[in-house]
Amino acid sequence: MHRLGILLSGRGSNFLAIHRAIAEGRIPNTEIAVVLSNKPDAPGLDAARSLGLKALAIPQEGKGPEARAAHDARMIAALQEAGIDLVCLAGYMRIITPAFVAAFPNRILNVHPSLLPAFPGLDAQHQAFDYGAKVAGCTVHFVDEAVDHGVIILQKTVPVLDEDTAETLSARILVEEHIAYAEAIARVLSGEYRIEGRHFLKQAGTF
C-alpha cells in the first residue's frame, strides 16, 4: 500500500480530489497517511479530520532562515514518521528548503495552474489571462530546489475563451488540476517510468 503525505495551506481542494481519486480506484493501492499544514486554521485540516485522516498543523516558530529550516525539519520528521512514499503539495503556500527536497528526492509533486515554463509563481492564471494567452492549463511536476521548475510529469490544456475573465479561466483550470494530479500520482507510484534529463518517459506499454 502506497502512503501519501499531503501538504496544504488552505481549503485543500486538490487534496480532496486526490482523496476522491483514491476512493474511486484511480490511484490504486494507495492511502493518505498524513495531512500537514503550516496554517493551524487551514480548512483543509478540518476536511481531513472529518474524513478520519491524521491531520497536523506545524506552524513556523519565529522568522528568518533558521526558523524556516527548523520548520521544514519538523515537517520532514512528521512525514518520515508516517512512512510516506510520496509527498504531494496541494496548495502549500511555502517554498520548501533544499534540505526538504533532499529528504525526498523525486518524491515530491506539485500542481501549478499554468503550462510551465510559462507563468511560474503566484497568480499564474491571472498572468496568463493578462498576457493574452490563447491556451492555458496546468502542470504536475516533481519539485526541485527552484520554484516551479522540476521535471514535468504531465500537462493539461484549457482554451482561453473570448468571454473569459481571469476568474472563469481559473475555475476551468482548477477542474483540470484535479484530474491531472490524480493521473500524475498514479503514474509516479506505478514506478513504470524513467527520467532522462528533463524528460519524464513512460515504459513501453504503460499508462
What positions carry a catalytic annotation?
112
| Bridge partner residues of 112 (DSSP) | 139
Is-contact 22 99, C-beta < 8 A?
Answer: no
Return d(Cα 142, Cα 197) in angstroms, integer.
13
CA angle at 137 for the pair 72 and 12, rounded to the nearest 5°? 40
Helix (H, G, I), strand (E, B) or coil at 35: strand
Strand positions, DSSP E, 125-202: 135-142, 152-159, 193-196, 199-202
**Pairing label, strands 152-159, 135-142:** antiparallel
Strand positions, DSSP E, 21-169: 30-37, 55-57, 86-89, 108-112, 135-142, 152-159
Return d(Cα 123, Cα 170) in angstroms, integer.
9
